[in-house]
Chain A
Amino acid sequence: MRRKISWRNLFLSVYGWLFLVFIYVPILLITVFSFNSNPVNMMIWQGFTFDWYRTIFGFPTELNELTLYVESTDQLYNAVLNSLTVALITTAVSTVLGTSVALAVARFRFRLKNFYRALMFMPMIMPDIILGIALLIFFVSFGFGLGLHTIIIGHCTFLSSYVFIVVSARISDMDDSLEEASADLGADGWTTFKRVTLPLIAPGVIGGAMLAFIISMDDLVITYFISGVDSTTLPVHIYGMLRRGIKPEINAIATVMLVFSFIIASVGLYMRSRKK
């Protein structure tokens, strides 16, 4: 065997590693500097502290009032709670809606099939800001009153699409002869669905639901337009904090969110690898 170390391969791997550095250095910086005790300049290391974490979790600290946010942690907790509420309800609703359309399109013959395919792709290719303002105009003109309910409705409109696409991909990999066999062996439609179809598409449905949950938790643009005054979600709350000024607590909040994202992503990818 001839071992070839060409300049091109060397260039590619140096470039690739630099790319990974570019992706991970900013994330790493947040984490490291969230333990920095310097209250004035967050990027000059002064010493190790848990104070910012103590602040966001409501423990007493020795920091004086001036270095802290005037906002209480209540707002932060409220935003987290709102985000979780919205994400859980949205995930449930959009998983049902998206999976129904995916099953209908894949397993039935009907005239409007292409219309439904296009309809389900539309929210994905629509810039967030457009959907945000369209929903805002709609909710306000029909007197919905902005709040958690409008955020939930708004998220369901585009997250159903994401679920639809993930589940459709799963169904298209699937062998439909199993369903035929079930029907041939005398199972009725519901039994076939419960005992054959559902277990087969389950990984796709779970994947779609997880994706919907993550995107709902993270959505900023659409939520920004359709959330009321008292119903901010976590991303909208942080956006507001950032616009008012950069304070070290945000580092700690961001790091907690990072850990949360890493856990979800790892669980998701672990499940995917087990499926294979």
Chain B
Amino acid sequence: MSKAHHTLESRRKLTLFGLLLPPSAFLAVFFLGPLAIMIVYSWLTPGLYGGVEWKFFHLNYGRILGWADTKYERFDPVYFEIFLRSVKLAATTVLLSLILCYPVAFWVSRMPEKRKNLVIFLITLPFFISLIVRLFAWVLILRPTGFFNQALMGLGLIDEPLEIIFTGTAVIIGMVYVFVPFMFLPLYASIEKLDLSLIEASQDLGANRLQTFFRVILPMTLPGIVGGSIIVFIPSLGNFIVPSLLGGAKVVMIGNLIEQQFLSARNWPFGAALGMMVMAAVLVLLLYYIRIVTREERQAGGLKVAEEVAA
């Protein structure tokens, strides 16, 4: 009996080993490996003609954060400004997607079942459509000879085409359009779960609509808001495709700067250091998210305990 048990146990161990070995090996080499070497690169000396020298060098970060003032690597506040501008742009994208999606999620959550499924299908469908195709559509719309200007001129509202493409506004429109499906689903998931009786209770107890919204609805849908915001913020922050197609040379974001360091300026260590800035911003955000979620769970847990005690 115990022998049979023993072989069973060892066979299970073998299965587990077999299941985990290939993915572990693959990810250790091709995922953790590249990340580690990128971190190392950000502390190495850039070679004179591209390439890298394997010597410790802290001025890659110094150039961004302000302690490099030597002959070759100058500190220039412009890098940090670009970083901050990118954070601001990503935050604006998040805010606009949130404002766009929140009422829509409410609208969908109150539909009859069949219609609801159709509308959710329609809203999530763009996720399956190639990003480059969706961006191309906005190039066509916003160009000086594009649809938007033609329409306005056709209506006689303007005489000359407006300069929309190659501005910050164009980049924000493009970002929101591309990433808005990511915002919808988490928001919808938390609004769908909203307990309507709590809203009624709040109104019965004399709260007006604004109070009900800010004191009841908003806190209860917070996980969806925060989740959606993070999923939109992360790809917006380092994005260089949208700025390069809709922002042109005028709107340079941290993503464009990184791309230039790797593909034209060929200063890879500096590019890696810029990449680490993006990484740091994402990590800070995630830690914040984890804090909110665990607090949420603790509160939910507390509520459950209270219910059990009351029962």
Residues on A facing B (Cβ under 8 Å):
9, 11-13, 15-16, 19-20, 22-24, 26-27, 29-30, 33, 41-44, 96-98, 100-101, 103-104, 108, 110, 116, 119, 122-123, 125-131, 133-138, 141, 153-154, 156-158, 160, 189, 214, 217-218, 220-221, 225, 235, 238-239, 242-243, 246, 250-251, 254, 257-258, 261-262, 264-265, 268-269
Contacts and interface: CB of A to CB of B under 8 A. Distances in A.
Interface of B: 11-12, 15-16, 19-20, 22-23, 26-27, 30-35, 37-38, 41, 100-101, 103-104, 106-108, 110, 119, 121-123, 125-126, 128-134, 136-141, 143, 145-147, 150, 177, 180, 230, 234-235, 237-241, 244-245, 255, 258-259, 262-263, 268, 271-272, 275, 278-279, 282, 286
B128 A128 contact: no
Given A104-B20, A246-B139, 10 more contacts: A26-B141, A30-B133, A43-B140, A129-B259, A130-B278, A153-B30, A157-B30, A160-B27, A242-B132, A258-B133
**Most B C-beta atoms less than 10 A away, residue of A16, A44, A160, A258:** A16
Contact of A243 (B32, B130, B138, B244): B244
A269 B121 contact: yes
29 contacts: A12-B106, A16-B107, A20-B119, A22-B177, A26-B177, A27-B134, A29-B147, A30-B133, A30-B137, A43-B140, A104-B19, A108-B12, A123-B31, A125-B282, A129-B238, A129-B255, A130-B275, A134-B275, A137-B41, A158-B31, A160-B23, A214-B128, A218-B131, A242-B139, A242-B245, A254-B130, A261-B128, A265-B125, A265-B128
Contacts of B133: 30, 238, 254, 257-258, 261
A62 B261 CA distance: 44
Contacts of B41: 137
Contacts of B147: 29, 43
A258 B129 contact: yes
Given A160-B27, A214-B128, A131 B34 contact: yes
Contacts of B140: 26, 29-30, 33, 42-43, 246, 251
Contacts of A214: 128
Contact of B235 (A128, A137, A264): A128
**Most A C-beta atoms less than 10 A away, residue of B22, B107, B136:** B136
B37 A138 contact: yes
Given A133-B275, A156-B30, A127 B136 contact: no
A195 B271 CA distance: 51
Contacts of B138: 26
Given A43-B146, A128-B235, A15 B104 contact: yes
B241 A220 contact: yes
Contacts of B136: 30, 238, 242, 250, 254
A239 B101 CA distance: 29
Contacts of A265: 125, 128
Contacts of A243: 244-245
Nearest to B122: A20
A24 B278 CA distance: 32
Contacts of A264: 128
A241 B263 CA distance: 18
Contact of A220 (B15, B131, B272): B131
Contacts of B134: 26-27
A256 B20 CA distance: 40
Given A220-B241, A246-B143, A235 B19 contact: no
A40 to B, nearest CB: 9
A137 B131 contact: no
A254 B130 CA distance: 9
A130 B19 contact: no
